[in-house]
Amino acid sequence: MKLKRVFVTGLILLLPTLITVFLLLLAFRFLNNNIAQPLGGFVLSILHLITGLSILKESSVVLKPLIGFPVALIIIMLVGYFAATILGRRLFSATEKFLFSKFPIVSFIYPYAKQFVNTFLNKEKKTEFKAVVAVQYPRLGIYCIGFLTSEGIREVKNNVQKELVAVFIPSSPTPFTGYTLMFPREETIPLKMTIDEAIRFVVSGGILTPPDLNNKQ
């Protein structure tokens, strides 16, 4: 029994690190195979044509990622600087409108991918959640975490004669999917949790609770 407990304790301590390393290795492999290697090979081909050095071709396996990753970072920085200009914003907007909306599969995937990135990664966008609330869903007496997103739809408010707010209710463990519902403002319970704390709470299935909001204290 002691050995089992020791093993379980060690597994609990090491498993998060192992999972993190595993995911980082998967991400590195994807970036290396799909970005660094192609970019590095392209740069080496140009250098080989210009200089004629055979060593560049012979050492391509080692040199491709060493060249590809810095080149990829430079391209990302250049795209970021260009996108910050008026011309860049207009160009990217036109590209999204006329290119990504023309292809059936791309037009279905791209808007959701962009929305996910803007919501969870881009802190400068106004698509951020406004606050964390608790609401009774899917029935009275059952409470769940939700994100206050907007003031709701005016036409619905006028019809029901109530002040409504839009609340996004995420699903576990993938918080970028869920339901968007409108609740009377008085039926929402504002929480002191931050957006990041609420996302961790949802992703972990309620295991990761902020210390100051934990029922054990």
Residue 93 lies in a domain: no
User: Which of 72-81, 115-124, 205-214 is the most confident on average?
Assistant: 72-81
Residue 106 lies in a domain: no
Residue 103 lies in a domain: no
Cross-strand partners of 6: none
The whole-number average pLDDT for the span 144-166 is: 90
Tell whether 64 and 137 lie within a shared domain.
no
- DSSP assignment of 112-127 equals HHHHHHHHHT-TTSTT
Whole-model pTM over 0.75: no
State which of 83, 114, 145 marks the end of a domain. Answer: 83
Task: State the Cα–Cα distance between residues 66 and 147, nearest whole angstrom.
Answer: 42
| pLDDT above 70 (res 167) | yes
Residue 94 lies in a domain: no
The whole-number average pLDDT for the span 89-113 is: 75
Please work out, in degrees rounded to the nearest 5, the angle formed at the alpha carbon of residue 159 by the alpha carbons of 153 and 162.
75
State which of 61, 83, 105 marks the end of a domain. Answer: 83
> In what helix (H) or strand (E) does residue 147 lie, and over which residues does it extend?
strand 143-150
The whole-number average pLDDT for the span 150-174 is: 88
Task: State the Cα–Cα distance between residues 34 and 212, nearest whole angstrom.
Answer: 43
Task: State the Cα–Cα distance between residues 182 and 167, nearest whole angstrom.
Answer: 6
Q: Which tens digits make up the pLDDT trace of 2-50? A: 777 877 788 788 887 888 888 889 888 888 888 888 888 888 788 777 7
Cross-strand partners of 145: 134
Task: State the Cα–Cα distance between residues 117 and 96, nearest whole angstrom.
Answer: 15
pLDDT of residue 63: 77
Tell whether 6 and 79 lie within a shared domain.
yes
Please work out, in degrees rounded to the nearest 5, the angle formed at the alpha carbon of residue 93 by the alpha carbons of 33 and 42.
25
The whole-number average pLDDT for the span 195-213 is: 81
Higher pLDDT pick, 62 / 20: 20
Amino acid at position 213, single letter: L
Q: Which two structure tokens, joined as six digits, stand for 83?
A: 């996108």
Residue 100 lies in a domain: no
pLDDT of residue 137: 94
Weakest-pLDDT range from 6-10, 52-56, 81-85, 133-137: 52-56
pLDDT of residue 54: 67
Tell whether 78 and 146 lie within a shared domain.
no
Q: Which two structure tokens, joined as six digits, stand for 39?
A: 């970019």
Domain count, the chain: 2
Tell whether 78 and 135 lie within a shared domain.
no
State which of 83, 98, 121 marks the end of a domain. Answer: 83
Give residue 165's pLDDT band: very low, low, confident or very high (50, 70, 90): very high
Region for 164 from its dihedrals, namely left if φ exceeds 0, alpha if ψ lies in -120 to 50, beta otherwise:
beta
Which residue shows structure tokens 């007496």?
141
Residue 114 lies in a domain: no
**In this structure, are residues 47 and 56 in contact, taking their beta carbons and an 8 Å threshold?**
yes
Residue 192 lies in a domain: yes
pLDDT of residue 166: 93
The whole domain housing 137 covers 131-209
pLDDT of residue 147: 94
Tell whether 137 and 69 lie within a shared domain.
no
Return the sign of the alpha-carbon dihedral for residues 178, 184, 189, 190: positive
Q: Which tens digits make up the pLDDT trace of 67-91? A: 888 888 888 888 888 888 888 888 8
CA-to-CA dists, residue 72 to 50, 85, 130, 207, angstroms: 21, 20, 34, 38
Residue 9 lies in a domain: yes
| pLDDT above 90 (res 214) | no
Higher pLDDT pick, 186 / 125: 186
Tell whether 135 and 191 lie within a shared domain.
yes
Amino acid at position 162, single letter: K
- Percent of the chain past pLDDT 70, that is, above it, reads 83
